[in-house]
């Protein structure tokens, strides 16, 4: 469809390029013919007068003609002559607007933009409906409600974003399945896709039930640097040894290495190897900062397969995601590992509290400086008498404060 759209756009530009010069040439030719007719008529009149002069005339027959010729006044045209002089045949050519290549290009671009928007939006809706038909039965088996209703309904937010929220599954509070499709309706995205290719993405965000403290991440090796932007992973987890049978395109990060074998079972590793081209990352943390009300969050990001693979590949990916929810919830740490992860979280909590306290002190100090600056500005605007009164008032205030401290010391040592 996009190739056809691009071909149509180029064809329209070519047509406008061919037609526009011909339209302009027609106008120029018509004007040129009118001017040539006027010049030819004037030349003929000049030739006739020259011939009459050459022929001459009999002086006896035209006696007194020279005197009449000298006394002849210059011709002054009347209003009727002025009106008749501007006859249609001698009128100046009117500058008519020309429909050129630039205008045709604007209209062609607008038409192509609207056509691409319509068909791109329809293509995204078709892909979203295909995903919904594939996932509907699986999600109904595992969840009881969808957006507060028992009816499965995919919500459309714009031309390329769709989602469905699910609740009622064991081992989790709820899940949000979000489809972020290509901007097929956007003509500029069609061209930028050649520079920065994009994919149709499915993001599954699961609010987990409170479980034991640990974090876990499986990401593509080329996307490992993105974990630095996730404090819930970068501040706790380190790279851990992955199962030997797992493809080397994935790396594993966790703060509890013993959960790796619990989550990455033999079947899970096999699924990750088979569907590696579609899986982007799997991240779980009990210290998530994405939502204030949910600390235990599981996030799975994957590419949506083409329509011809939707029924098989997408269904397997959803089954794998549902299995990960149960695996994370059922993971249990040994006492040494549990003590280690709890100590790590306690350390981060104390560091965060200290950082918050320092931030509050900085804010209080800044406010104090701002108040002093305002008071100094007011003091500078006072008269000498007002400044003396203000100084006396401040002196009494400081003496009162010192006297209060002195009494407190006496009471302490009484």
DSSP letters for 387-408:
HHHHHHHHHHHHHHHHHHHHHH
How crowded is the C-beta side of 198, counted as CA atoms within 13 Å? 14
Give 254's DSSP letter. Answer: E
- Reduced 3-state DSSP string for 322-352: HHHHHHHHHCCCCHHHHHHHHHHHHHHHHHH
Q: What is the pLDDT of residues 67-85, one digit of tens each?
A: 545 554 554 555 544 444 4
What pLDDT score was predicted for residue 64?
A: 53
Q: What is the pLDDT of residues 316-351, one digit of tens each?
A: 999 999 999 999 999 999 999 999 999 999 998 888
Question: Encoding tokens for residue 394?
Answer: 């401040």
Q: Measure the CA–CA gap between 154 and 321, rounded to whole angstroms.
A: 19
Largest Cα–Cα separation, the chain: 158
Q: Measure the CA–CA gap between 329 and 200, rounded to whole angstroms.
A: 29
What pLDDT score was predicted for residue 352?
A: 83
The residue among 149, 52, 40, 128 whose CA lies nearest residue 89 is 40
Q: What is the pLDDT of residues 250-275, one digit of tens each?
A: 999 999 999 999 999 999 999 999 99
Q: Measure the CA–CA gap between 260 and 241, rounded to whole angstroms.
A: 8
Question: Encoding tokens for residue 33?
Answer: 């013919």
Q: pLDDT above 90 covers what percent of the chain? A: 40
Query: Mean pLDDT across the stretch 292-298?
Result: 90
Q: pLDDT above 70 covers what percent of the chain? A: 73
| pLDDT for 62 beyond 50 | no
Q: Cα-flanking dihedrals φ and ψ of residue 157, to 5°? A: -100, -40
Q: Measure the CA–CA gap between 414 and 407, rounded to whole angstroms.
A: 10
More confident residue, 301 or 348: 301
* Lowest mean pLDDT across 104-108, 195-199, 367-371: 104-108
* Lowest mean pLDDT across 99-113, 173-187, 295-309: 99-113
Q: What is the pLDDT of residues 147-201, one digit of tens each?
A: 878 888 899 999 999 999 999 998 899 999 999 999 988 888 878 878 888 899 9
pLDDT tier at 27, thresholds 50, 70, 90? very low
Question: Encoding tokens for residue 220?
Answer: 């593509």
Q: What is the pLDDT of residues 273-286, one digit of tens each?
A: 999 999 999 999 99
């Amino acid at each position: 469809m996009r190739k056809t759209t691009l071909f149509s756009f180029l064809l329209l530009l070519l047509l406008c390029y061919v037609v526009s010069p011909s339209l302009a040439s027609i106008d120029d030719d018509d004007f040129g013919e009118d001017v040539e007719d006027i010049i030819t008529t004037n030349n003929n009149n000049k030739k006739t007068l020259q011939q009459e002069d050459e022929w001459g005339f009999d002086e006896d027959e035209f006696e007194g003609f020279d005197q009449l010729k000298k006394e002849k006044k210059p011709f002054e045209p009347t209003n009727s002559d002025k009106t008749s002089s501007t006859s249609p045949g001698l009128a100046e050519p009117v500058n008519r607007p020309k429909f050129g290549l630039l205008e045709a290009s604007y209209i062609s671009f607008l038409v192509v933009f609207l056509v691409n928007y319509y068909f791109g939006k329809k293509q995204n809706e078709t892909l979203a409906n295909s995903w919904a038909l594939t996932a509907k039965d699986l999600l109904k088996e595992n969840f009881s409600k969808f957006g507060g209703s028992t009816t499965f309904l995919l919500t459309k937010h714009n031309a390329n974003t769709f989602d469905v929220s699910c609740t009622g599954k064991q081992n989790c509070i709820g899940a949000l399945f979000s489809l972020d499709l290509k901007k097929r309706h956007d003509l500029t995205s069609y061209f930028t896709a050649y520079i920065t290719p994009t994919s149709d993405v499915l993001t599954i965000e699961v609010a987990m039930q409170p479980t034991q403290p640990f974090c876990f991440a499986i990401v593509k090796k080329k996307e490992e640097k993105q974990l630095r932007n996730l404090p819930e992973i970068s501040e706790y987890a380190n790279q851990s040894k992955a199962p030997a049978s797992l493809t080397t395109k994935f790396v594993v990060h966790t703060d509890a290495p013993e959960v790796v074998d619990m989550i990455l079972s033999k079947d899970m590793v096999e699924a990750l190897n088979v569907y590696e081209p579609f899986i982007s990352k799997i991240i779980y943390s009990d210290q998530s900062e994405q939502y204030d009300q949910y600390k235990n969050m599981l996030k799975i990001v994957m590419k949506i397969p083409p329509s011809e693979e939707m029924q098989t590949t997408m269904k397997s990916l959803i089954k794998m995601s549902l299995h990960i929810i149960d695996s994370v919830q059922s993971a249990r740490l040994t006492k040494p590992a549990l003590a280690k992860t709890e100590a790590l979280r306690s350390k981060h909590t104390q560091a965060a509290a200290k950082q918050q306290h320092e931030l509050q002190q900085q804010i209080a100090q800044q406010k104090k400086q701002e108040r002093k600056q305002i008071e100094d500005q007011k003091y500078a605007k006072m008269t000498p008498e007002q400044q003396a009164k203000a100084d006396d008032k401040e002196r009494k205030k400081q003496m009162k404060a010192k006297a209060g401290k002195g009494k407190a010391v006496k009471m302490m040592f009484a």
